Chain A
Amino acid sequence: DAGVIQSPRHEVTEMGQEVTLRCKPISGHDYLFWYRQTMMRGLELLIYFNNNVPIDDSGMPEDRFSAKMPNASFSTLKIQPSEPRDSAVYFCASSFSRTGELFFGEGSRLTVL
């Protein structure tokens, strides 16, 4: 398996633009997680899905952030409109269980100017 695949690896955009980050989890994993990493706040869980259903989105910063998982092999994290404080590395991870080993993608580095 190729592992968790994220795209784009890097995105630079201007404030107010819509940003869509994509993730393909490892086949067979039932859980998918979106994390955000910044120097100031470390690693934050934004949302996670179980069997394509959002279970806990309490970490989503505000209504500008939304996440979907239309099928077992694809998820998106959307920010609309984007703001400079959204600049971070966004990681997708997948797992067989909620508290087992997480397999992380290489991350999407977002810069909002």
Chain B
Amino acid sequence: GEDVEQSLFLSVREGDSSVINCTYTDSSSTYLYWYKQEPGAGLQLLTYIFSNMDMKQDQRLTVLLNKKDKHLSLRIADTQTGDSAIYFCAESISNNDMRFGAGTRLTVKP
């Protein structure tokens, strides 16, 4: 498809792991990004992965990339209430463009 696709909602309990999934469009994308948007704020880069990597870990965050399936995921371990936000997947496209998904709203219940 032409769009970066994400599920719109995810709800987890505090302390559980969250997994946010994304499928992207361009198999030659160089970088793939995860942005976080907290209520009333702009998007902020959370992490990114270069396309020649399969996995990247940064403290509680793990990014997995499956290039064959054009699938990207973000795992948040030990999810906290402060992780409640909208998470956007984005890809850099070979024609010098950047494309965002619609965002996944993560709700963390105590």
Which A residues lie at the B interface, using CB under 8 A?
Answer: 4, 42-43, 45, 91, 93, 98-102, 104-107
Contact = CB atoms under 8 A, between A and B. Distances in A.
A99 B88 contact: no
A77 to B, nearest CB: 15
Contact of B42 (A45, A100, A106): A106
A4 B100 contact: no
B58 to A, nearest CB: 15
Contact of B96 (A99, A104, A107): A99
B43 to A, nearest CB: 5
B42 A99 contact: no
B44 interface: yes
Contacts, number: 45
A102 B41 contact: no
B96 A43 contact: no
A42 B42 contact: no
B43 A102 contact: yes
Interface string B66-99: 0000000000000000000000100011001110
A104 B35 CA distance: 10
Interface of B: 30-31, 33, 35, 40-45, 48, 88, 92-93, 96-98, 100-103
A56 to B, nearest CB: 8
A79 B101 CA distance: 25
Nearest to B103: A42
A43 B100 contact: yes
Nearest to A6: B42
B31 A99 contact: yes
Contact of B102 (A42, A102, A104, A106): A42
Given A99-B96, A101-B45, 18 more contacts: A4-B42, A42-B102, A42-B103, A43-B88, A43-B102, A43-B103, A98-B96, A100-B31, A100-B92, A101-B48, A102-B35, A102-B98, A104-B42, A106-B40, A106-B41, A106-B42, A107-B41, A107-B42
